[in-house]
Amino acid sequence: MPKITPFLWFDHQAEDAARFYTSIFKNSKIGRILRYSEGVAKATGQPAGSVLTIEFEIEGQKFVALNGGPQFKFNESVSFVVNCETQEEVDYFWEKLTADGGEESACGWLTDKFGLSWQVVPTVLIDMLHDEDSEKSERVTKAMLQMKKIDIKTLKEAYEQ
């Protein structure tokens, strides 16, 4: 078991979310599922036999999703970064993660249909932002701030001006 595992609190969509995420990422799988027993269901108000927790893995990162009820919601203060090598990858993950009610935000950020925040980031952006030439990184930053989904071609044009 890894030392740290992200633990995601859902109202009642933990299994749907785990299946959604594992359908998007190629190197992923569903793990163990723990269901509410009669006693725990009674104490929590959740249906007996429904999913309590579901373990899943994406690209070697283990997660646990919990059906804990409506008390807590996701917000943008925590997000998961998807590092992409190509524009095709950026486009793929952007389309999949915003599907069925997800929302685009700014600078490569989005919120999926479950309310979880993601950043779909081309790795070349990080390299350009860390360039020792501050004028180049400044131009890239200004270009990025105008974007929702990151466009590598536009970033490269700003970088090479």
- pLDDT tens digit string along 73-126? 999 999 999 999 999 999 999 999 999 999 999 999 999 999 999 999 999 999
> Of 53, 72, 91, which residue sits at a domain end?
72
Interval 44-71: pLDDT, tens: 889 999 999 999 999 999 999 999 999 9
Residue ending a domain, among 45, 72, 99, is 72
The yes-or-no verdict on residue 1 having pLDDT over 90 is no
Mean pLDDT across 11-16: 97
8 with 85, same domain: the answer is no
User: For residue 20, what are its two tokens?
Assistant: 């959604």
Are residues 91 and 130 both part of a single domain?
Answer: yes
Range of the domain at 95: 74-161
128 and 87 inside one domain: yes
pTM, entire model:
0.93
Pair (92, 160) in one structural domain: yes
Where b means 16+ CB within 10 Å and e means fewer, 126-144 reads eebeeeeeeebbebbbebb
Report the pLDDT averaged over residues 40-46.
Answer: 90
Where residue 159 falls among pLDDT bands split at 50, 70, 90?
Answer: very high
- Distant-in-sequence, close-in-space partners of 13: CB < 8 Å, separation ≥ 6: 67, 114
Task: Work out the end-to-end distance of the chain between its first and last CA atoms, rounded to an integer number of angstroms.
Answer: 48
Q: Which two tokens stand for residue 114?
A: 């479950």
Do 68 and 94 belong together in one domain? no
pLDDT in tens, 126-154: 999 999 999 999 999 999 999 999 999 99
- Domain final residue, candidates 35, 56, 72: 72
* 2: confidence class by pLDDT, cuts 50, 70, 90: confident
